[in-house]
């Protein structure tokens, strides 16, 4: 890939399959003869490094959305639940204005439960925790890989430079994809568990209403 295309390549979402094609285009023209091996190896490392950075930016954006969903759902659930608990108590007081409102306590409690269910079902809180975890994990991987690369540049002789460099780049790529695959697995597990719990709660409520 040409240098002028880097900005376009970086703007693609990490889950966009075109990133694989762009990565291939960036690396397929590399030359591995003795005169070009070092510069080509550095370009290969930079291409993997850009993939890792784009993943960090992706999860940083996603964690913000999930944090907003989680905070809004939990705050509204607390507010509605508190109102639902207070209304029957207020209805039992001497103030006549609250007597008719006591019957709506269950409505507010049900609304609070629905919000908590939506938060779990759509991965608000759990998604935020997952995305923070994988972002920090990727940042750790990037820092360690860049330090290892600098050490490699400073310490290896001419003969072993290319082989050791390939090992570093390969380990970097494997660590990157292992982290994202692990997060995807956690996401799938959380989503399936939340869906199963939601279905079970619906069945329980339907059985109790009969």
Assess contact for 164 and 152: CB atoms under 8 A. Answer: yes
pLDDT score of 187 more than 70: no
Helix axes 161-209, 37-91, angle to 10 degrees: 20
24-28, 91-95, 104-108, 129-133: the lowest-pLDDT one: 91-95
pLDDT score of 64 more than 60: yes
24-33, 39-48, 96-105: the lowest-pLDDT one: 96-105
User: Among 54-63, 89-98, 163-172, 183-192, which range has the highest average pLDDT?
Assistant: 54-63
Residue partners of 208: CB distance under 8 A and separation at least 6? none
pLDDT score of 9 more than 80: no
Phi, psi of 15 (to 5 degrees): -85, 0
Assess contact for 37 and 47: CB atoms under 8 A. Answer: no
Assess contact for 47 and 22: CB atoms under 8 A. Answer: no
157: left (phi over 0), alpha (psi -120 to 50) or beta: beta
Determine the average pLDDT of the residues in 184-199.
Answer: 67
Instruction: Quickly state the pLDDT bin for 2 (edges 50, 70, 90).
Output: very low
Both tokens of 5, joined, read 């295309």
Instruction: Quickly state the pLDDT bin for 157 (edges 50, 70, 90).
Output: low
pLDDT of residue 55: 84
pLDDT of residue 165: 78
pLDDT score of 176 more than 70: yes
Per the prediction, the chain carries an average pLDDT of: 77
Smallest CA-to-CA distance from 116 within 47, 54, 198 is with: 198
Determine the average pLDDT of the residues in 25-45.
Answer: 84
Q: What is the spatial distance between Cα 57 and Cα 63, in angstroms, rounded to a whole number?
A: 10
pLDDT score of 5 more than 60: no
pLDDT of residue 4: 42
Q: Could you give the C-alpha distances from 204 to 31, 191, 195, in angstroms and in order? A: 65, 20, 14
Instruction: Quickly state the pLDDT bin for 137 (edges 50, 70, 90).
Output: confident
pLDDT of residue 156: 63
Instruction: Quickly state the pLDDT bin for 3 (edges 50, 70, 90).
Output: very low
pLDDT score of 52 more than 80: yes
Both tokens of 53, joined, read 């950075």
């Amino acid at each position: 890939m040409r240098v002028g295309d880097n900005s376009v390549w970086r703007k693609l979402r990490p889950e966009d399959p075109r990133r694989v094609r762009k990565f291939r285009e960036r690396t397929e023209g590399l030359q591995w003869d003795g005169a070009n091996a070092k510069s080509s190896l550095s370009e290969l490392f930079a291409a993997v490094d850009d993939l890792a950075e784009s993943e960090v930016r992706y999860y940083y954006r996603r964690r913000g959305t999930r944090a907003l969903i989680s905070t809004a759902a939990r705050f509204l659930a607390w507010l509605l639940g508190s109102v639902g608990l207070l209304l029957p108590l207020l209805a039992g007081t001497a103030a006549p204005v609250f007597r008719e409102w006591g019957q709506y306590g269950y409505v507010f409690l049900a609304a609070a439960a629905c919000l908590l269910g939506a938060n779990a079902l759509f991965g608000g809180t759990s998604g935020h925790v997952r995305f923070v975890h994988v972002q920090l994990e990727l940042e750790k991987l990037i820092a360690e890989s860049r330090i290892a690369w600098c050490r490699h540049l400073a310490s290896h002789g001419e003969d072993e430079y290319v082989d050791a460099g390939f090992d570093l780049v390969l380990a970097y790529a494997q660590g990157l994809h292992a982290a994202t695959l692990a997060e995807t697995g956690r996401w799938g597990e959380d989503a399936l568990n939340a869906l199963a719990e939601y279905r079970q709660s619906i069945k329980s409520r339907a059985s109790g209403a009969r």
